Structure 1
Amino acid sequence: MSSRWLRPEVYPLFAATGVAVGICGFSLIRNITGNPEVRVTKENRAAGVLDNHAEGEKYKENFLRKYVRNKHPEIMPGINKFFTDPKY
């Protein structure tokens, strides 16, 4: 009975669904633990609206954003240079 449901053609669908669930889980955990606008505990919710711009800036300027800030938006820069640069 299980061979009827687990065919090899379904594995890419399981992989894509697993990646999507993983990305959603990562986003949920990141927002709950790090977002300054999300307050889970009752004490933090009682504080009201805070103007804590430093904490918001720290959340916004994460490692990935800092890493790609000065990079060119190319997927394969070596191949692009090879085909577009006349020096090669």
Structure 2
Amino acid sequence: MASSRWIRPEVFPLFASVGVAVGICAMQLVRNICTNPEVRVTKENRAAGVLDNFKEGEKYAEHGLRKFVRNKTPQIMPSINGFFSDPDLPTN
């Protein structure tokens, strides 16, 4: 009975969106645990106290996605936005 209620084609987009959200959360959690210089999981690393590791912190903060989007315009469709908002562009 429950399978006929939840396993319908109308519910698949909901499952997909929740699955993507859970995947993004899990990826961020693993990234923070594994690569964040301020997170220390093992007892030996926690005993070290506060470390001044600025190079490692800079490496963590400047990841590949941030480097990729740094010089891009913060718009989803810049050509369409420019077409509708820039009066200097000639219209055909």
| TM-score bracket relative to the smaller structure | 0.7 to 0.9
TM-score by length of 1: 0.87
TM-score by length of 2: 0.84
Q: Residue 12 of structure 1: CA displacement?
A: 1.4
Write the distance in 1 (CA, Å) between the matches of 2:5 and 2:16.
Answer: 18
In structure 1, the residue matched to 2:66 is 65
In structure 1, the residue matched to 2:89 is 86
Instruction: Show structure 1 runs of 5+ residues with no match.
Output: none
In structure 2, the residue matched to 1:9 is 10
Number of aligned positions between the proteins: 88
Write the distance in 2 (CA, Å) between the matches of 1:47 and 1:24.
Answer: 29
Aligned-residue identity in percent: 73
Q: Deviations over 1:14-66 (max 9, x none)?
A: 11110110011000010011100001111111111101111001000111111
CA RMSD of aligned residues (A): 1.5
In structure 2, the residue matched to 1:52 is 53
Instruction: Show structure 2 runs of 5+ residues with no match.
Output: none
Q: Deviations over 1:1-20 (max 9, x none)?
A: 22222122211111111011
Secondary structure class of the residue paired with 1:19 = helix
Write the distance in 2 (CA, Å) between the matches of 1:87 and 1:80.
Answer: 14
Secondary structure class of the residue paired with 1:75 = coil
Give 1:46's aligned amino acid.
A
